[in-house]
Amino acid sequence: MTKKKIVNDPIHGFIDIPDGLIYELLEHPYLQRLRNISQMGLSYLVYPGACHSRFSHALGSMHLMRQTLLSLQSKGHDVSQDEMEAAMCAILLHDVGHGPFSHTLEYSMVENIPHEALSLAFMQRLNSLFDGRLTTAIAIFDGSYPKKFLHRLVSGQLDVDRLDYLSRDSFFSGVAEGMIGLERIIKMLDVVDDELVVEAKGIYSVEKFLISRRMMYWQVYLHKTVLSAEQLLLQILRRAKTLVARGATLFASPALQLFLQRRVTIADFARPDVLDAFARLDDSDVNSAIKVWCRADDAILAQLCTMLVARRLFKVELSPTPFAEGYVDALKQRTRPFIPPTPEALPYFVVSDCIVNKGYDEETGKIQIRFGKAELRDVYDVSDMLGAQAFSGVTKKYFVCYLTDYTAVKW
């Protein structure tokens, strides 16, 4: 009896979920947990509609992978059914390593471990559970598979991950600048010498894609109020870990308790119990803890949590150059009347750092435009719109978060 399902997606319409390995993966708890992890972290505090999940993004990316490979097959490129299934599995699982609130807590819940490394750990664990049926998918994911263009569709300048999240995040946030011509981009993709390229007539769609991606970062992902909320959440987790390290007992789910108490390394994730504990973590663990911590005995933790729950966020200032030390010291003095009167409070309520927006990250490969049958040129060499440093370079902005006033709220 067939188990084929059809999902109605607001971005791509009807998505076919084929029987077999992909259906079984979607049924697994490792994938189902993504329903409870926010795709855009705390962006919903600025864009109320941005409440979609990593699960919907995984489904959308899988759908686009299939559409892309069917298009490449129609152009005569050899992609077997096994390779298509493996590539779809690889993109379906590419974000399975995300923890609560996605990128916001990526290097905080488990220190210095990117979600890609955790995704690989999950995939290796699933591969053992599925008797080696994910071996090819893992090779595509980590770039060791002989057909390199399949890896570029998972992780590259024009990967299907980016094509989906730009369209999806634009739709749910209501920011129209992120809308891209993804169907045309997919139809314009080709392969030359095992490299993913774009036909020359697709250059305008690629230009729009690069501009839209950059605008979405400044307008949505790195929006200063989103930045304020994310810094507040990071300070909450930092304070909770500090208190637990001192022997304090804080309310937390068993899974969250483990990662508050222990400094977990990537080697620890080779143990099924640690990986399963991380798999039990999602946004609800952190949210429920924060609501309880609003009444914590520690005044710093209690105020930070109350601020987030009540949306009393930091004020944020941005600058193209580092803030003068004297200016930050002055902000600290302005903040003192509104925070607990303890010497260690200030670093939690006045936070300075920097953010980076890369318009074109060559570490994930270049976007090459194909002229004729074989001539390849970098998109920035042939584009009329993208030659400016503003789009092709790296922009760094410095920020400082601080309190301007605070009135206690009971929760």
Residue in 310, 342, 316 with CA at minimum distance from that of residue 331: 316
User: pLDDT for 332-389, tens place per residue?
Assistant: 999 999 999 998 999 999 999 998 877 666 666 789 999 988 789 988 888 877 664 4
Which pLDDT score is estimated for 1?
47
Is 178 in a helix, a strand, or coil?
helix
DSSP structure string for 254-320: HHHHHHHH----GGGGGSHHHHHHHHT--HHHHHHHHHHHTT-SSHHHHHHHHHHHTT-PPEEEEES
Which phi and psi angles does 199 have, rounded to 5°? Answer: -65, 150
- The two tokens of residue 277 are 């504990």
Whether 226 and 41 have beta carbons less than 8 Å apart is answered as: yes
CATH class of 5-223+366-393: mainly alpha
Which pLDDT score is estimated for 390?
52
> pTM of the prediction?
0.93
Which pLDDT score is estimated for 411?
60
Which phi and psi angles does 171 have, rounded to 5°? Answer: -60, -50
Which pLDDT score is estimated for 410?
66
> Residue 71: which H helix or E strand, with range?
helix 54-74
Say how many residues make up the chain: 411
Which pLDDT score is estimated for 356?
85
Which pLDDT score is estimated for 359?
63
Residue ranges, the chain, pLDDT below 50: 1, 388-389
Residue 58 half-sphere exposure toward CB, CA atoms < 13 A? 27
> What's the N-to-C CA distance of the chain in angstroms?
52
Instruction: State the fold for domain 225-355.
Output: Growth Hormone; Chain: A; (1.20.1250)
CA distance 53 to 379: 32
Per domain, the residue ranges of the chain are: 5-223+366-393, 225-355
User: pLDDT for 23-73, tens place per residue?
Assistant: 999 999 999 999 999 999 999 999 999 999 999 999 999 999 999 999 999
How many C-beta atoms surround the C-beta of residue 324 within 10 A? 10
Which pLDDT score is estimated for 409?
67
